[in-house]
Structure 1
């Protein structure tokens, strides 16, 4: 099967030259780069750092004069070129490298035409542009990964000739420490989504394979990348969440939820006592939920087969849910006990 062909279009106004090798290396995962173009005002001193990189990496500079102060004409040139390339039919996808939300509509339009759109930008890139791409990669993560690899190679080479002191190793760790990424998806959201995938498959009587989780995470969160969390492999990332276990059958790896559930009896007893404490007045459903989560930090209603906390409460025969005058849900002891 032939490699997919991509056009890499770079906005020099929003991207530093230090990322160029990371960008091109990352694109080898997706296919062959047939167009390498970068847009900017090459008469400006700000683009001087790019000029060496253009020659060494065979990137074609597209001149776009800044005719008006504070107006970014580079965006228009990149967008027009992207549409021209689209209509030639010579590529299977685009890589748009920018941290600017102005390319959100372009990414959406290219996807509507059946193109695979890879977005790359810095951590400051707005969520709108990230979501418009099939896949979005944070450039700082790629750069840190390359630096870590170089550091490890340097330490390994040094170890061959002499023993690396603990002080050296600590200094290397300090120099190459990765700052916390901003704008990445919260790990708890990832965890909840993986749980829902597994539960959905279990309801259909099928196992959940690791590859399916990876594919669905990227489809839901275009900027999901395990490297954002300091991991190289999805399997290790999921395994260290602590609530899932991986089962290997030859080359096939499946994922299931660990049974760390608190017993239903213990939960029922705690909830009933909370309601009894409030006597006839009962307790607001939301407040009760907070109490349960505060006392049992691993509690998730989905682990017990319920979609909502209200449904979980209704499963306890001693309790009932009423609506008060303020239209709030109140949990009370059942009159039929």
Structure 2
């Protein structure tokens, strides 16, 4: 059997159906649009994520006989209120702690050098002076790069002030109309699709539920984990509790990797503030308990309806989609991996069912 025959048989098996070819074309066009026009479409994509997040409360109110427009207004105004509260309460506190942390970084660096010197004196066979100097050099370079990135980020943020204003104006408007005219917009898009679309409908229904559940569940997880982390750190008297709480909350966006990365600043701040004593261990134990409860209790509750994915698949999805789309790629890594899994399972069955239906019709 020649290579040409193998390729032809493969194409006939998976792309002999018009719906399969159209679905593939739509997926390629969608991915290409996001890759090439992602920056232009960023306000719309942001509004789409927020609309998915708020659609659940809107549906809950409409099920309780609240008129659709009234439900949209209630949920939308509540969302605006939460955003304003975060902008005027949480954001200034986090910014103040971040500024204080940057100012205190030289003192923390000096304390770290003293700690390394003490370890070298206690364990001279394991930690040599050359190794200490190497570690100091690495830490110094990383601290310099971090400060340079902070300065460049602040300058870039000043230059992107107009973009921020556009976000603040466009995103709420788009969210409101996406919630208000959801059925009309979906009907308009569906009108361009063929009448017979069993495969598309099956994939869309699964992904609509998966993405909506994932966004709402992930937002809930961020809020719960970040809030509990903040109160836990504050209870121990750890400085920068709000900043670390926000960091730990957003770390859940990246499964497995995020928890490990967030451990480093928590351990560093606790070590510099408390020293390597009992209080330091208590903070790490409390943080470990928080991560264990998140992974073994909170995540199964919030994502009980999610399609199970192997950890290797999740990490690969985070690396691939994060490398393509950055933050949003990381955020949507699991839904996109779920989409690929749904396509793999639905595609052959859809074509086989179409072929069987054609034979029965004949």
> Into which bin does the TM-score normalised by the smaller protein fall?
under 0.3
User: Which structure shows the bigger proportion of residues in strand conformation?
Assistant: 1
User: Which structure shows the bigger proportion of residues in helix conformation?
Assistant: 2
Normalising by structure 1, we get a TM-score of 0.27
Say which one has the larger Rg: 1
Normalising by structure 2, we get a TM-score of 0.26
Structure number with greater CO (CA < 8 Å, separation at least 6) is 2
